[in-house]
Amino acid sequence: MGFSEYLACQVLHLFVERLGGHNKASARRRVLGRLRARCVPAPPPRQQGHKSQQFGWMAVSKPGGTPKEDDGLAVADKPKTERPRRYQVVLHNDDYTTMEFVVHVLTKFFHLSDTEATSIMLQVHHKGYGIVGLFTRDVAETKASQVMEYAKEHGHPLKCTAEPEGLGDSE
């Protein structure tokens, strides 16, 4: 193999590397199939615990995934990320907070319409609690503390909590 063919192979390897970040596995397989016929296979990975992609003379580290051997060329799968756990903001019933104040709080802090706010307020009144919405942990805790603070300023003992999604659901 001459220098110009070797250089062309390296350019193709870099092209495959760029495709790796865009989850185009079928395109990568086609390009790798063409490369196998013309290029020198990559050496095996150096470290057993280290996950990397091999492209000719280069090894590009990837933070996850398991490499798959394919005729001497290793292709690492993109690691799967999990969605962050969601938290539900829950209003709890008490005997002193007025229904109008609960509707006001729901429209002010959660930007609900009067109809939606009234529906949740009635759920709180009849069931003893009402789920206002699902948020990330920081947002849920912030909204719950803002509601509690606002209720305290206005002389209402309204209780609002942020709980992990699905905790205590029995519908």
Quick check: 30 pLDDT over 80?
no
| CA–CA gap between residue 103 and residue 1 (Å, rounded) | 77
pLDDT confidence of residue 82: 87
Residues 70-81 have pLDDT tens digits of 556 667 778 888
Output the average pLDDT for the chain: 77
Place 10 in a pLDDT band, splitting at 50, 70 and 90: confident
Characterize 78-106 residue by residue with b for buried, 16 or more Cβ atoms within 10 angstroms of its Cβ, and e for exposed.
eeeeeeeeebbbbbebeeebeeebbbbbb
Mean pLDDT for 98-121 is 96
| CA–CA gap between residue 23 and residue 42 (Å, rounded) | 21
Taking the CB of residue 65, how many other CB atoms lie within 10 A of it?
A: 16
Residues 111-132 have pLDDT tens digits of 999 999 999 999 999 999 999 9
Place 56 in a pLDDT band, splitting at 50, 70 and 90: very low
